[in-house]
Structure 1
Amino acid sequence: MAFQRTTTDATRQCVVDSKLLTGLPEGTPIVKYNNMKKLKNIIDTQSLDCSADSSKSPFLIVTCVDNSFFKALDNVYPDSGPRITYNFEEGGPTVILEVMKSTAQEMATGRLHLEIVLKLGKMGVEYELVSMNESEIQSLNKTWRKQPDLAFGLDGHTRWPVLVIETGMSETQQKLAIDAQGWLEAQGSDTKVVITMNIDKHSPRITFQRWEHAYTRHATRSHHPHGSVVQTVEVFHKGVNTRATGELIIPFEKVFGRMRRGRKEADIIITKNQLIRLGELVWAEQRFM
């Protein structure tokens, strides 16, 4: 993990050696938070730079944040601002901002959203599971907060999503793993399933992983079980062939918290052909096809 070293010693002193920073792209800038006006200028400039040069990191490490930081950020970005990852226990007073999502990432997330919604409609449960991807979620102890790329909550219980999708391209698989574990392990979490999509920047390949709680016989209310990978699917193009190594399965009972009723209700299964189509749309945007 390498970060831009143009910061002052005082700024670097605020950065805690934490897994929160693991997997960020090389050259990710670090800035010390002084006031929101200055930070907004930095965010907007970096967003423009990323639009012009895809090799630049879309992330910004902001150190020494104070209690007024999040309210001030909401005030300057009342509609749609940078996506936040914050874990005080892991990163001290440090926030990771994602200032821009690539078109390829947005296409992948949007396509998976469509496939899931279509499956829900066929089962007749589309009103039981509602999209809530614009919501910023905060843990009960207020030490962790994040806005998902895509999320679904149970109707009437949308304080916390049960299904989360996180899409990455610039970050490594390690960064997505930390995001997935955060959703599953944060205090008060109701998340049961996390799907991560890791889009390769250099070749036509997407790695899907399904994360769930790794329950042990010693799990208690005070000791929340860890999140772990229970399924991995690779979708890739090589030569003239595009392949998916399997179907992506989202267990019905995990997400809905109940048994199935009737023949129509089943696991949400994204087929090989649907995953291949998703990949081909993304790779066309990346100019690989």
Structure 2
Amino acid sequence: MNSPTMTSEFEPATLPPHAPRPSPIMDVEAFSSNQFLENLPEETEPIIATNKQAIRRALKKKLDTDEEESEFILFSYVGPQLFGQLSNDGGSRGEIGIRTFYDASSLNLIVKIPRRAHEAATRALEFLIVQEASRQGLDDQLLAVGSETIKEDPYSKEGDAAFIPQGPIPGRDDKWPTLVIETGLSESLLRLRVDASWWLTMSSGLVKMVIIISIDRAQPKILLECWKLGAVQHSHQLRSLCWNPLRPTKTHSITMTHNGTSTTIAGAPLVIPFDDVFAIPPSGPTQGDFVFGSAVLEGFARKVWRGQKLI
């Protein structure tokens, strides 16, 4: 299935009035249908499912299996009506906590079943972001939408966590979050990068940043990657002749490891630009980029490792 892939107190702050914004970035390398199935872990189980009961049985069986297996299941021959039934099945979805990625053109459904470490990492980073927005007096200006389903034909996708600025911004489709978190085990890293590519390209740049959390299941090691749209580099001569298309680009990475009593954080701090959260520039002295230094990241990592019983 694999194929090469490419605490001080502040006065309440308010966002400035929304000025007209440029149109969404359109010159973006497209997400191809071939990418949909790229880089699923080799042990990902393919299942033919033609009804909701078959999917539910497979999900429950997967939930009870050894955690050494892949987080993913690939269901084929899933028609739009069946996918709609699954999407509306709050009981089953809530019990298992699945994330879905559906391609109506190929009738393929990828389901990710988060494990404890997965959820711990996602919720811990989500909390840090919400806490920082609150510290800047902007907690009521940022909506955490969790794993809300985003539909962009022929796809429907859920991230692990996402954030949308409150209030209308002229020219911006507010169905798209500005910031998305995608989490998985270390053997799923290449797949997480495919997910990041989908968010950035399908939104035509309305998703400003995707943060990948990659967790090693056997040792205390966590990798964070920040992905944004970046220009494709051409030769000097070509730069003056054509507009550079944009493609998903890794802009930063942070590695967190623990050995004995020592934790090492390489690549800190984690910086999330203010514009990438709120889609407008900061206003006033209390507003600015979200910056998480080594101490904060160590606390984040230790929560995950304790959940894994690795420290």
Shorter chain as normaliser: what TM range?
Answer: 0.7 to 0.9
Structure-1 residue corresponding to 2:155: 144
Paired residues of 1:160 and 1:189 also in contact (CA < 8 A): no
1:95 and 2:109 correspond? yes
Give the C-alpha shift of residue 59 in structure 1: 1.4
Give the C-alpha shift of residue 170 in structure 1: 5.9
1:164 and 2:185 correspond? no
Structure-2 residue corresponding to 1:71: 84
Give 1:237's match in structure 2, choosing from 258, 262, 266: 258
SS at match of 1:191: coil
1:21 and 2:57 correspond? no
Give 2:293's match in structure 1, choosing from 251, 262, 271: 271
Return 5+ residue gaps in structure 1 as ranges: 3-16
1:120-131 → structure 2 map (5 Å cutoff): 120-131=133-144
SS at match of 1:213: strand
Give the C-alpha shift of residue 123 in structure 1: 0.9
> Cα RMSD over matched residues?
2.3
Q: Report the Cα distance in structure 1 between the residues aligned to 2:254 and 2:186, rounded to whole angstroms.
A: 19
Q: Report the Cα distance in structure 2 between the residues aligned to 1:258 and 1:19, rounded to whole angstroms.
A: 31
Q: Report the Cα distance in structure 2 between the residues aligned to 1:37 and 1:188, rounded to whole angstroms.
A: 36
Give 2:220's match in structure 1, choosing from 171, 179, 204: 204
Paired residues of 2:220 and 2:257 also in contact (CA < 8 A): yes
Q: Report the Cα distance in structure 2 between the residues aligned to 1:42 and 1:211, rounded to whole angstroms.
A: 33
Paired residues of 2:50 and 2:82 also in contact (CA < 8 A): no
For 1:21-53, what per-residue CA distance to the aligned partner results, in whole angstroms no more than 9, with x for missing partners?
A: 33333322111122222222222222222xxx2
Give the C-alpha shift of residue 171 in structure 1: 4.3
Structure-2 residue corresponding to 1:9: none
2:180 is aligned with what amino acid?
V
Give 2:272's match in structure 1, choosing from 250, 254, 260: 250
Q: Report the Cα distance in structure 1 between the residues aligned to 2:89 and 2:283, rounded to whole angstroms.
A: 47
1:19 is aligned with what amino acid?
Q
Structure-1 residue corresponding to 2:57: 41
Give the C-alpha shift of residue 212 in structure 1: 0.7
Give the C-alpha shift of residue 67 in structure 1: 2.5
Give the C-alpha shift of residue 287 in structure 1: 2.0
Structure-1 residue corresponding to 2:171: none
Q: Report the Cα distance in structure 2 between the residues aligned to 1:58 and 1:189, rounded to whole angstroms.
A: 28
Give the C-alpha shift of residue 188 in structure 1: 5.5
TM-score (norm 2): 0.78
Give the C-alpha shift of residue 258 in structure 1: 1.9
Structure with bigger RCO (C-alpha 8 Å, 6+ apart): 2
1:257 is aligned with what amino acid?
A
Residues 1:189 and 1:96: Cα distance change in structure 2 (over 3 Å): farther
Structure-2 residue corresponding to 1:14: none
Instruction: Calculate percent identity across the aligned residue pairs.
Output: 27
Structure-2 residue corresponding to 1:283: 305
Paired residues of 1:19 and 1:178 also in contact (CA < 8 A): yes
Give the C-alpha shift of residue 133 in structure 1: 1.2
Instruction: Flag as ranges the 4+ runs of structure 1 deviating above 3 A.
Output: 75-79, 215-220
TM-score (norm 1): 0.84
Give the C-alpha shift of residue 20 in structure 1: 2.7
2:160 is aligned with what amino acid?
D
Give 2:48's match in structure 1, choosing from 3, 8, 32: 32
